Structure 1
Amino acid sequence: MIVIENVAVATVDAAGTEHADGHVVISDDGRIVAVGAGHAGRYHGPLRHIDGTGCLVTPGLVNTHHHLYQWATRGLALDDTLFGWLTTLYPIWGRLDAEVVGAAAGAGLGWLALSGCTTSMDHHYVFPRDGGDVLEAEIEAARGIGLRFHPTRGSMDLGQKDGGLPPDNIVEDTDAALAATEAAIDRWHDPSPDAMLQIAVAPCSPFSVTSRLMSDAAVLARRKGVRLHTHLAETGDEEDFCRERFGCTPVEYAERLGWLGEDVWLAHGVHLDDAAIARLGETGTGVAHCPSSNARLGAGMARVRELLDHSVSVGLGVDGAASQEASHLGSELRQALFTARLRGGPAAMTAREALAIGTIGGARCLGRQDDIGSLERGKLADLVMWRLDELGHDGIDDKVAALVFGPPATVELALVGGRAVVERGALVNADAEALTRAARRAHRKLMKGL
């Protein structure tokens, strides 16, 4: 059993309960036994006592959109829009293999853990024919770090010869992609409440996937009882593509193909009109908000205030490391708040709303809100203890404000199901230097000869 005391606590429960001086108690099976004000009281048996003086405990952050393989191609196409950026990088990604993906995933997930992330998804949609089992490679990398992992089996079947954006040599046959997706679900998906690994179905985007693959993937996901994810409404170029090719907006196209519902979360959602936002709210469709990536590519600022006001579940995502080189989920809390305020002024988002997006909002997107995303009795002990008594946060008495408005905070402790993955700012289950060396080799291998 673990007892954390003398610590500020932000539970992010429905009532927004906080304790300036509180405690959290975690059972041996990795669930929260108690959370409240003051000291924890007496507990029998072997105990690990943790003094949280100067720290804030929050739920672990949930990353709802990422492309881990992109860690191997950071710093390229720095001044392009999305379509130009993709055109530059697709040929390089066509050389991916399991070794490169495993190394990139290890580095990316390790860095996420150090930034306060305890659960991450990954949207992998590039499967070169001779690349080996790249999905298995990233799953093994997640096990090595110790994060709860929601990889998605993505796909692309609309190549350049058929009017799509990706080169023809990296798209799949439609039936083969669907069969591989079903096989991945059968092999890896764990539907249990305390699952460390769950699979979702994720065709890439309207400009790289045929209508048939989109609609059949939705049928497949619902038959297998898993969630659906794709990029949607990220850029003005995508809006133009959908209107010219399908005669409708991206959200109208998604609904036509069965892609709205409580089992769906969409990446970005930047270019949404009032009708689209209302429809997402009516159907229970979630959105992964990626403010830094949207800014890096100049894609625009998502209308998060309006999405929240229409009861849309909004989570936070760092997006791929090639379109958001920092990939620091803790810092994304501040970026989300600042982006909302750039659109709508200082009342557009509070620090606590930003924290909720990064925790319970992300849990809702992944369908895990009953078990993670807030600190409540009976939930899984996925939490982060942030050190907020160092120079950069000194004088900010409101601990949540210090976390969100202040500089990136050191992760003093991160637990996943009660098991430590970060302690005193260092990874517990992996060596950061080894991850760096492996990622460096992967980058050089992928870029060799270019």
Structure 2
Amino acid sequence: MELVTSASSGRLLIEGCAIATVDGVGREHERGHILVEDGRIAAVGAGSADRIDDGAPVRRVDGTGCLATPGLVNTHHHLYQWVTRGLAQQADLFGWLTELYPMWARIREEDVSAAVGAGLGWLALSGCTTTTDHHYVFPAAAGDLFAAEVAEAGRVGLRFHPVRGSMDLGASAGGLPPDDLVEDTDAALAATADAIDRFSDPSPGAMVRVAVGPCSPFSASERLMREAAALARDRGVRLHTHLAETVDEEDYCRATHGCTPAEYAERLGWLGPDVWLAHGVHLDAEAIKRIAETGTGLAHCPSSNARLGAGLAPVRDLLDAGVPVGLGVDGAASQEAGQLVAELRQALLVARLRGGPTALTAREALALATRGGARCLGREDELGAIEVGKLADIALWRIDGLGHADIADPVAALVFGAPAPVELLLVGGRPVVERGRLATVDERDLLVRARRAADRLRI
């Protein structure tokens, strides 16, 4: 493949590749083309693109041996955790958090910058074009952590939906986090409003949109949850939090609030079409019904749930009920692989462990990571499918190598097979990955900075 160095303002033609559009009817082309103009998809179809022979300049990309899909959308992450990976290896969620909180209390702006840069670079290399990041750790005098991660997203070139998280319920007030790692409630709300004002862009094609996200029922007070939701709705941004991840959380909510986590969320105004929740492992039939009826989305994090032994999320039941479901890598300290493409296979396998071999198909797994994720983030009109007029966020996967070439179905090759190399990754028509290498930042620099931060935090 010829290297592509054009900016989003030019024209680019990918041709000769298989295409899974993941549009509303699941159109696929065994050998087709995609034309990109001014950062959006101008044409997609079978065969060659005759319409562009008008003399205007266009860069051509030979997609032979590749599969084109929409860029993957990561709906849940904690990027700062990249520099605290590999710890608390046999712990459940509460034990894992308890072991890592003291390290996170020492995190500083330069550490967050290094962690976010490395995590985003790795996400890009796994086909991700849009990612969230739920950052809820803000130690005193740590620097401008939220600004640091927004800046790194701009350097790497991914579309970014950072969530300004918060915790105000320390151990002395009945929460799980230590008191020195939580914020004052008013200060957290003010900082959240400031993050929206400084960084969130509501315009079409936006690269950064901020969401609001008190961390969890066991680390955020009722007041913080209620007032954060009111703030988000006043500013017209989305809401995100952890919910129903573990049995311990369910026990905590029943003992503290007299109800399940889902009932607690609804009581606080945390169900609705502007909300997406992380995990949802322990949801009964009534909770699934209410989540579906309210249009609430859910970020499914199969590898992290498995790593912490949290359980098997009821994804088939959620989909059948009409819940928007996306995929999440989750924090790098509870999912050290950090590859979004690998979550397609993991989601399929986990669903089948719970519901048998028909519980999730390869194409449904791909839809979770694309169209489903776009729905969770409220951007299904722009992202998640290869359709004319949508943003040119496209992943081109090489599937003609030893690990995939004998799987005749290209979508099955991507989902059932090993993580496929990314031949080309476009975000708004701009190349972020080319031939399996980052095109926007120096990978060696990402590695050195992340290693330095990890070494400092482990001292």
TM-score category of the 2 structures, normalised to the smaller one: over 0.9
Letter in 2 for 1:19: H
Q: Which residue of 1 aligns with 2:339?
A: 328
Letter in 2 for 1:33: A
Q: Which residue of 1 aligns with 2:264?
A: 253
CA distance in 2: counterparts of 1:347 and 1:195, whole angstroms: 38
CA distance in 2: counterparts of 1:89 and 1:193, whole angstroms: 39
2:112 paired residue among 84, 101, 109:
101
1:20 paired residue among 18, 30, 49:
30
> TM-score when scaled to structure 2?
0.97
Q: Which residue of 2 aligns with 1:337?
A: 348
1:187 Cα deviation after fit? 0.6
CA distance in 1: counterparts of 2:301 and 2:80, whole angstroms: 17
> TM-score when scaled to structure 1?
0.99
Asked if 1:285 is matched to 2:296, the reply is yes
Letter in 1 for 2:448: R
CA distance in 2: counterparts of 1:368 and 1:23, whole angstroms: 24
Letter in 1 for 2:233: R
CA distance in 2: counterparts of 1:91 and 1:233, whole angstroms: 24
1:431 Cα deviation after fit? 1.1
CA distance in 2: counterparts of 1:199 and 1:394, whole angstroms: 41
Letter in 1 for 2:232: A
Asked if 1:118 is matched to 2:129, the reply is yes
CA deviations over 1:11-42 (Å, ceiling 9, x no partner): 00010000001110000x20000111110113
Letter in 1 for 2:90: D
1:154 paired residue among 156, 165, 170:
165
- The correspondence of residues 229-248 of structure 1 with structure 2, limited to 5 A, is 229-248=240-259
Q: Which residue of 1 aligns with 2:386?
A: 375
Give 3-state SS (helix, strand or coil) of 1:371's partner: coil
2:42 paired residue among 33, 41, 59:
33
- The correspondence of residues 81-100 of structure 1 with structure 2, limited to 5 A, is 81-100=92-111
Q: List, as ranges, runs of 4+ consecutive aligned residues in structure 1 with deviation greater than 6 Å.
A: none
Q: Which residue of 1 aligns with 2:218?
A: 207
Give 3-state SS (helix, strand or coil) of 1:119's partner: strand
CA distance in 2: counterparts of 1:439 and 1:121, whole angstroms: 20
1:446 Cα deviation after fit? 1.1
Q: Which residue of 2 aligns with 1:223?
A: 234
1:433 Cα deviation after fit? 1.1
CA distance in 2: counterparts of 1:95 and 1:345, whole angstroms: 45
CA distance in 1: counterparts of 2:248 and 2:183, whole angstroms: 24
CA distance in 1: counterparts of 2:16 and 2:126, whole angstroms: 23
2:21 paired residue among 3, 7, 11:
11
Give 3-state SS (helix, strand or coil) of 1:349's partner: coil
Give 3-state SS (helix, strand or coil) of 2:249's partner: helix
CA distance in 2: counterparts of 1:267 and 1:42, whole angstroms: 44
1:107 Cα deviation after fit? 0.2
Give 3-state SS (helix, strand or coil) of 1:231's partner: strand
Letter in 2 for 1:122: D
Give 3-state SS (helix, strand or coil) of 1:298's partner: coil
CA distance in 2: counterparts of 1:413 and 1:192, whole angstroms: 26
CA distance in 2: counterparts of 1:92 and 1:193, whole angstroms: 39
2:430 paired residue among 416, 419, 430:
419
CA distance in 2: counterparts of 1:242 and 1:431, whole angstroms: 45
Give 3-state SS (helix, strand or coil) of 2:139's partner: coil
Q: Which residue of 2 aligns with 1:186?
A: 197
Asked if 1:197 is matched to 2:208, the reply is yes
CA deviations over 1:93-129 (Å, ceiling 9, x no partner): 0001100000000000000000000000000000011
CA distance in 2: counterparts of 1:193 and 1:278, whole angstroms: 32
CA deviations over 1:28-75 (Å, ceiling 9, x no partner): x20000111110113131100111000000000000000000001000
Aligned length: 447
Give 3-state SS (helix, strand or coil) of 2:386's partner: coil
Q: Which residue of 1 aligns with 2:12?
A: 2
